[in-house]
Structure 1
Amino acid sequence: MGDDHDEGERAPSLSMNRGGVALMSTSHLVNDFYQGVVPALLPFLAAERHYSYAAIAGLTLAATLISSVAQPVFGVLGDRRPRRWLIGAGMLTAGVGLALVGLAHSYPLTWILIAISGFGIAAFHPEAARAARLAGGPSNRAMSIFALGGNGGYALGSLVATPVFLLLGVRGTPLLLIPAAVMATILALRLRRVLDGRSGRRRAAAMPTGRDDWPEFVKLIVVVVIRSILFLGITSFIGLYFIRELHTSESVGGAALTVFLVTGAAGTLLGGWVADRSNRLMSIQAGFVLTVPALAGLVFTRSWPATLAFVALTGIALYLPFAVFIMLGQDYLPNRIGTASGVTVGLGVSVGGLFSPLLGTFADHTSLRVMFTALIVLPVLGLALTWFMRDPSGPGTRARPRSGRPVPRA
């Protein structure tokens, strides 16, 4: 290692920095909490301020598309010079933006504030994914724990925000700033020490090395988009499918979405475990293979309890490769960790989201059952594409610690 490292740091360990992984996963939970608040907020905005469906769709666009497109930009900036302070600042911006929505009364200002919140969420992700990789090293399980934090935060946002809005209405949004304020304070006090150690010097870590492989990265993004179309198609329409095709109550329809997201959390952890014990491509392929019978069962069963079981299997299957996508992207572009993280987390999701209106139009002209049947083609296509990809770490190998060059400070 360089001369600026003490003797204890010259023999780097590839063990997981559990404190660092826990801190980054918790901060991911708080950050993505604000993504989950927006869907819960929209019905109350529509009711109190009499917004049209088009206006509500515009707010959804402000929250998602701007955030997703901005994430790769923040990734590129981070690759030029790491900006670790964006982890706390981005999260706090996300909280402030949504907190002020209840105090704004014009639609344009509401739109801008929700866009600012999405912008903060975008600023958080690339640097947070870089820090999670630094803490977890080559462990896919560590990255799956980081990803699980985001999944949990999204689900928690709706669960926490809805009672607040039922009690106080939209004017209760300032209360939602509390999680971001607390977590940003913790990060300001603890982040550097937890990630870098008592000395404040960067710990040796198993970060990817080598040349950037753009052709493989492009293949990965195509697979990410396919998974995104599946994911957003299911989350957008699974509740309606239970209500209109299986003739259940609205509560059962809502429960179906909850089951999908909760079992997805288990799938995220399982995907990291599979990747660590075989290879990353095996985890992605297993997810697509399981998705085919899961979707088929969802479509062809007529009993809603049985269909709910297939929803659970679909959640596990679709989330299996979630964290692996981030790890593979970083390994394909080892010199552009921020860019890889921003694109895999952000841009791939937004491109997939552009297909949701097309799926809705297709369902309007046929039925939700036909639309879900058509989705079965996508995991087959994704599985076929993975056979043309390679795992840069190779079977049974691990990433090597970086050495011989200083690491710029955030």
Structure 2
Amino acid sequence: MRIATRSGTHLTVLAVLGMTHLLNDMMQSLIPAAYPILKETYALDFVQIGMITMTFQIAGAMLQPVIGMATDRYPAPYSPVVGMMFTLSGLVSLAFAHSYAIILVSVTLIGIGSSIFHPEATRMARYAAGGRQGLAQGIFQVGGQAGGALGPVFAALIVVPWGQPSLAWFAVTALLAMMLLTWIGSKQRQMSADFVAMRARGKKSTQGPRHAPLTIGTGLVVLTFLMFAKNAYGESFRSFYTFYLMERFGLSIPSSQIMLFIFLLAAAVGVLIGGIAGDRIGRYRIIWISVLGPLPLTLILPYADLFWTGVLTVMINLIMASAFASILIYAMDLLPNRIGLIGGLFYGLNFGLGGIAAAFLGVLAESYGVDTVYRICSFLPLAGLLAWFLPRIDESAET
């Protein structure tokens, strides 16, 4: 069955990929969404909360580039199914964890599952994109962002009322994801053949344009710093926003979880808008707008009341999240024959850099309070000035 549009874009595959990304990241997001319960049950401090995030995200970061390099040489279309098995085991283990050590082991398993899922799934999104790379990455990533946003909702509706063991109920979503990923794996050969044929029709090398080592190195280093600043700010919300809302405005756990859901949902919208806009106006412009644009809003946020806190956080995340599709595609254009490596590296950066930031912010929150964390983080978008050093590559060479 041919499921490509006139532009060579396989929308059905992209939609299913987005759904599996939604399920994967929804299960991951249950970890920070459950922090208020775990903190109360096990009398954890903010340093320990930060360590849980760091453990989970470092586990998800270390393997991704390695797996990406391996699948560049030896494609493994069914490897995401294996990754989902790790996520399933970690989720069930977390549901019945009875100590802080078991919590750390559980989140490590979930992190490993994500490290196996992302590189090959990113390759499939690249193959299925045809001539609309921004749209494809937007669809794939909007699934992940939407899944991340659903975690706090399920925590408020299910985990808070029913307790920690209810996390095991979400194992059914892992089984559903495994079935969808098995179907996607069966399509990879077709997707790969269509991708190569499309580039051949466009008289482009299947290896893509070659860039000088200095251009590649400079681009990847700058993109890494931009990703760190973006993730550090985002992690301050994923790990500590609910505590900030409860301490400063007296919100209940369910109310603060809904506010977190709204914040994360804005990211889902942002990545899709950013991906589509990148196809139209270029990756370079989108990166500039998304990483530096939120600065005035982040500076105001720590001094806003509850209503404007909600408005500002949505606007900030909407703009900031629009960068990721463009950053990923920009990196793929630098190394077009290393799709798995780039996918593993930059999704790994999302986990690893976010985990390091979470641990550091946890120490700050414990020592100086959550309010101080948000005042310090408000200056992070200044790192967007580093976009000045991004090499200007020929985006017309994209496919």
Q: Common fold, TM-score beyond 0.5?
A: yes
Output the aligned Cα RMSD: 3.1
* Cα drift, residue 135 of structure 1: 0.7
Task: Answer whether contact 1:75 1:338 (CA < 8 A) is retained.
Answer: yes
SS of the residue corresponding to residue 249 of structure 1 reads coil
**Residue number in structure 2 paired with 1:223:** 226
User: Residues 105 and 372 (structure 1 numbering): CA distance in 2 closer, same or farther, change over 3 Å?
Assistant: closer
User: Residues 81 and 391 (structure 1 numbering): CA distance in 2 closer, same or farther, change over 3 Å?
Assistant: farther
Q: Which has the higher contact order (CA 8 A, sep 6+)?
A: 2
The TM-score, its normalising length taken from structure 2, stands at 0.84
CA distance in 2 between counterparts of 1:21 and 1:74 reads: 22
**Residue number in structure 2 paired with 1:392:** 393
* Cα drift, residue 309 of structure 1: 1.5
Task: Answer whether contact 2:54 2:352 (CA < 8 A) is retained.
Answer: no
User: Residues 240 and 19 (structure 1 numbering): CA distance in 2 closer, same or farther, change over 3 Å?
Assistant: same
**Residue number in structure 2 paired with 1:175:** 169
Unaligned residue ranges in structure 1 (runs of 5+): 1-7, 401-410
1:336 aligns with 2:338: yes
Q: Deviations over 1:54-112 (max 9, x none)?
A: 76555434322211222122112212211111122212321232124445656655543
Q: Runs of 4 or more off by more than 6 Å in structure 1?
A: none
CA distance in 2 between counterparts of 1:244 and 1:167 reads: 21
SS of the residue corresponding to residue 147 of structure 1 reads helix
1:356 aligns with 2:358: yes
CA distance in 2 between counterparts of 1:101 and 1:348 reads: 22
* Cα drift, residue 285 of structure 1: 0.9
Task: Answer whether contact 2:55 2:355 (CA < 8 A) is retained.
Answer: no
- In the TM superposition, what are the counterparts of 1:246-265 in structure 2 within 5 Å? 247-250=249-252, 253-265=256-268
> Greater CA deviation, 63-72 or 120-129?
63-72
Q: Deviations over 1:214-251 (max 9, x none)?
A: 33112211111111112112333444444444x34236
Task: Answer whether contact 1:68 1:349 (CA < 8 A) is retained.
Answer: yes
The structure that has the greater radius of gyration is 1
> Greater CA deviation, 96-105 or 330-339?
96-105
CA distance in 2 between counterparts of 1:278 and 1:357 reads: 37
**Residue number in structure 1 paired with 2:324:** 322
User: Residues 364 and 109 (structure 1 numbering): CA distance in 2 closer, same or farther, change over 3 Å?
Assistant: closer
- In the TM superposition, what are the counterparts of 1:8-407 in structure 2 within 5 Å? 14-45=7-38, 50=42, 52-53=44-45, 58-103=51-96, 105=98, 108-137=101-130, 138-160=132-154, 163-166=157-160, 168-193=162-187, 196=190, 203=195, 204-205=197-198, 209-211=208-210, 213-245=216-248, 247-250=249-252, 253-301=256-304, 303-362=305-364, 368-369=370-371, 371-382=373-384, 384-394=385-395, 397-400=396-399
User: Residues 83 and 202 (structure 1 numbering): CA distance in 2 closer, same or farther, change over 3 Å?
Assistant: farther
* Cα drift, residue 166 of structure 1: 4.7
Q: Deviations over 1:97-134 (max 9, x none)?
A: 21244456566555434322211111000111111111
Task: Answer whether contact 1:208 1:330 (CA < 8 A) is retained.
Answer: no
CA distance in 1 between counterparts of 2:113 and 2:29 reads: 14
Q: Deviations over 1:262-307 (max 9, x none)?
A: 2222211111122111110111111133201211332343x32123
User: Residues 314 and 190 (structure 1 numbering): CA distance in 2 closer, same or farther, change over 3 Å?
Assistant: closer
User: Residues 231 and 100 (structure 1 numbering): CA distance in 2 closer, same or farther, change over 3 Å?
Assistant: closer
CA distance in 1 between counterparts of 2:112 and 2:119 reads: 12
User: Residues 373 and 182 (structure 1 numbering): CA distance in 2 closer, same or farther, change over 3 Å?
Assistant: closer
User: Residues 257 and 77 (structure 1 numbering): CA distance in 2 closer, same or farther, change over 3 Å?
Assistant: same
CA distance in 2 between counterparts of 1:64 and 1:110 reads: 14
User: Residues 255 and 41 (structure 1 numbering): CA distance in 2 closer, same or farther, change over 3 Å?
Assistant: closer
* Cα drift, residue 146 of structure 1: 0.6
CA distance in 2 between counterparts of 1:218 and 1:351 reads: 14
User: Residues 208 and 143 (structure 1 numbering): CA distance in 2 closer, same or farther, change over 3 Å?
Assistant: farther
**Residue number in structure 2 paired with 1:3:** none
**Structure (1 or 2) with the greater helix fraction:** 2
User: Residues 363 and 120 (structure 1 numbering): CA distance in 2 closer, same or farther, change over 3 Å?
Assistant: closer
CA distance in 2 between counterparts of 1:185 and 1:117 reads: 18
**Residue number in structure 1 paired with 2:203:** none
Q: Deviations over 1:2-44 (max 9, x none)?
A: xxxxxx9xxx964311112111111111111221122244555
Letter matched to residue 347 of structure 2: V
> Greater CA deviation, 96-105 or 228-237?
96-105
Unaligned residue ranges in structure 2 (runs of 5+): 200-205
The TM-score, its normalising length taken from structure 1, stands at 0.82
SS of the residue corresponding to residue 83 of structure 1 reads coil
CA distance in 1 between counterparts of 2:286 and 2:127 reads: 22
CA distance in 1 between counterparts of 2:367 and 2:340 reads: 42
Task: Answer whether contact 2:32 2:238 (CA < 8 A) is retained.
Answer: no
> Greater CA deviation, 148-157 or 184-193?
184-193
User: Residues 240 and 131 (structure 1 numbering): CA distance in 2 closer, same or farther, change over 3 Å?
Assistant: same
CA distance in 2 between counterparts of 1:282 and 1:205 reads: 27
User: Residues 283 and 182 (structure 1 numbering): CA distance in 2 closer, same or farther, change over 3 Å?
Assistant: same
Letter matched to residue 284 of structure 1: I
CA distance in 1 between counterparts of 2:94 and 2:243 reads: 29
CA distance in 2 between counterparts of 1:114 and 1:254 reads: 20
* Cα drift, residue 140 of structure 1: 0.6
SS of the residue corresponding to residue 270 of structure 1 reads helix
SS of the residue corresponding to residue 84 of structure 1 reads coil
Task: Answer whether contact 1:79 1:339 (CA < 8 A) is retained.
Answer: yes
User: Residues 190 and 375 (structure 1 numbering): CA distance in 2 closer, same or farther, change over 3 Å?
Assistant: closer
> Greater CA deviation, 185-194 or 74-83?
185-194
